């Protein structure tokens, strides 16, 4: 019972913090990977640019809730696809790199859409 009361009064704060963290991680990792691949900036520039982009993406995710739900669902799909591919690697090794890439992308988009649909259907509860 105490947990329900705690979640009722503190739930929105935890929701906002989760959305900020999700958006920050998503934005910073994407920008950092692009910076590493292009190799234009020194290490400090890469880190600074990725932190700045992560902050912007985190603020966008918390201010526009549907974007936050989409990002959270996309990351859940990516994580579940990677876990599935790790388990599948024990049995089958794909002969090209595009098969795992496609599986990860499709699972991420599918999970993002499903989470967004669920969030829209329960939007009167959160907002």
66-76 residue pLDDT tens = 888 899 899 99
CA 26/CA 48 separation, integer angstroms: 15
pLDDT digits (tens, 9 = 90+) for 40-91: 899 999 999 999 999 999 999 888 888 888 998 999 999 999 999 999 989 9
User: Taking the domains of the chain in order of start, what are their residue ranges?
Assistant: 1-63, 64-127
SS3 content of the chain, % helix, strand, coil (to 5): 85, 0, 15
pLDDT above 70 for 126: no
DSSP string for 49-71: HHHHHHHHHHHHHHHSHHHHHHH
């Amino acid at each position: 019972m105490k947990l329900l009361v705690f979640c009722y009064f503190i739930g929105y704060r935890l929701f906002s913090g989760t959305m900020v963290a999700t958006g920050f991680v998503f934005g910073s990792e994407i920008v950092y990977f692009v910076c590493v691949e292009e190799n234009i900036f020194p290490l400090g520039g890469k880190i600074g640019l990725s932190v700045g982009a992560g902050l912007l993406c985190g603020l966008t995710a918390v201010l526009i809730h549907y974007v936050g739900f989409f990002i959270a669902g996309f990351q859940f799909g990516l994580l579940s696809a990677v876990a599935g591919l790790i388990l599948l690697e024990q049995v089958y090794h794909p002969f090209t790199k595009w098969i795992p890439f496609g599986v990860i992308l499709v699972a991420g988009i599918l999970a993002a859409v499903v989470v967004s649909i669920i969030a829209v259907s329960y939007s009167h509860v959160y907002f």
